[in-house]
Amino acid sequence: MYYRNVDNGTNRRPFIAFAPLQGYTDAVYRRAHWNCVGGVDEYYTPFVRIEKGEARHKELRDTDPTRNDGVPTVPQVIARDREEFARLCDTLQQQGWTRIDLNMGCPFQMQVNAGRGSGLLQHPERVEAIVGEMQCRTDVAFSIKMRLGQENPDEGLRLLPIFNDVNLLHITLHPRLGRQQYKGVVDIEAFIHFVEECRQPMLYNGDITGIENGKLRIAYHDEVIALPAKVKGLMIGRGLLARPWMLSDKEPMEVLREMHSAVFNHAMKNLCGDSQILARLHAFWEYADIDRKLKKAILKATTLPRYRETASPLLHPAGD
C-alpha cells in the first residue's frame, strides 16, 4: 500500500480519500473535518448530476471553489452516457476544476434504473464512450469509483480492457455488487482478483472501521486485513462519518465537539428556522459512533432549545 509522509516524515499513513455521502459530507462538513482532524488527501463531493438538461444547481453550490478553498477537494459526477458526462465536465471546468471523479458505484435504485452509478457497469459501450471523452480532456485529471458490478462481478472485469490502457489517476473499488447496496460482506477475494488484472492504481473502499499499522479493520471480518502492496490507498466514507477522529490522535469527543461547533455555527448563520437548522444538525449525528440512546434523543429533538439540552452531555462535558 502506498504511504505518504506526514509530520515532517516522522509518521507514515496510507493515502486516504474521504468518500462522499449525499446530505452529509457537504462543503461545511468537509472543511470542519479538514480543520479539526486532517489526515485526508482528497475529499470527494457528493455527485453532481444532470437535472432538466443541465447540472443541478444545488450540487454546483457545493462544488463552488470559493466554498472549498484550502480544502483538498475533488468534485464527483454521475452520468448515464457521454453526453451527460461531457455537459457535467464542461460545467465543472467553467468553475475552474481540473480534477474530476466519475461515480460508477452508486447502488440506489433511482440512479441504477436511469443507467447511472452501478447501473452504468452493465453498458460497456457507454463506459467506453465516457472514457473516450476523458481522454479528449487532457487538461483534466480523472478517476473512477465503481463496484464489482451491478448483478455479477464479471461486469466490472469486462470493463478492464477499456480502463487498462488509458490515463487515470486511480480506480476506487467497493467490492460489493450494486444490487447488494450495503448489505452482506464485502468480497475481499474479488477485490484482490480485480487488482491483479487492473493496470491502474487502485483504492480500496468498503466497511473500513479502522487502520492498524497500514492494515484494515473491516466490519464483519474478525481479522485485520492486509491488501496487496500495489493498492495505492483507501477511500473511507461511513467509517469516517461514524468515527471522524479515526485519523487523529485527539480524543473522540474533542473531535466531535470541534466539528459540531463549526457545523452548528454555519447552520445558525446561514439556515432559517429550527426545522432547517435541526435537519443539518441531525445529519451530523446520524452516523456518529456515540451512545445509541443519546443519539436517538438528539435525533428526536424538534426545537433548538430541546436539541441543546439533549446534546449538552456531549458538547459540554462535566466540569466545563
Per-residue pLDDT, 290:
95
Residues in the chain with pLDDT < 50?
2-10, 319
Decide the pairing of beta strands 50-51 and 42-44: unpaired
CATH of 3-242, one of 1.10.3720.10, 3.40.640.10, 3.20.20.70, 3.40.50.300: 3.20.20.70
Per-residue pLDDT, 213:
73
Angstrom distances, CA of residue 145 to CA of 159, 174, 233: 13, 8, 13
Amino acid found at 193: H
- pLDDT tens-digit series, residues 238-248: 999 999 999 99
3-state helix, strand, coil in the chain (%, to 5): 45, 20, 35
Show the beta-strand stretches assigned E in the chain.
3-6, 11-18, 42-44, 50-51, 54-55, 73-74, 76-77, 99-104, 141-149, 171-177, 202-205, 208-212, 215-218, 224-225, 231-236
- pLDDT tens-digit series, residues 255-278: 999 999 999 999 999 999 999 999
Dist CA 303 CA 9 (whole Å): 48
Contacts 24+ apart (CB under 8 A), 223-227: 225/188, 227/1, 227/191, 227/192, 227/195
Dist CA 266 CA 260 (whole Å): 10
Query: Could you identify the residue written with the cell 461511513?
Result: 238
Per-residue pLDDT, 3:
45
Amino acid found at 45: T
Per-residue pLDDT, 7:
45
Dist CA 279 CA 270 (whole Å): 13
Nearest to 182 by CA among 240, 237, 245, 251: 237
Per-residue pLDDT, 226:
83
Per-residue pLDDT, 216:
79
Segments making up each domain of the chain, as ranges: 3-242, 252-315
Dist CA 66 CA 63 (whole Å): 8
Per-residue pLDDT, 210:
86
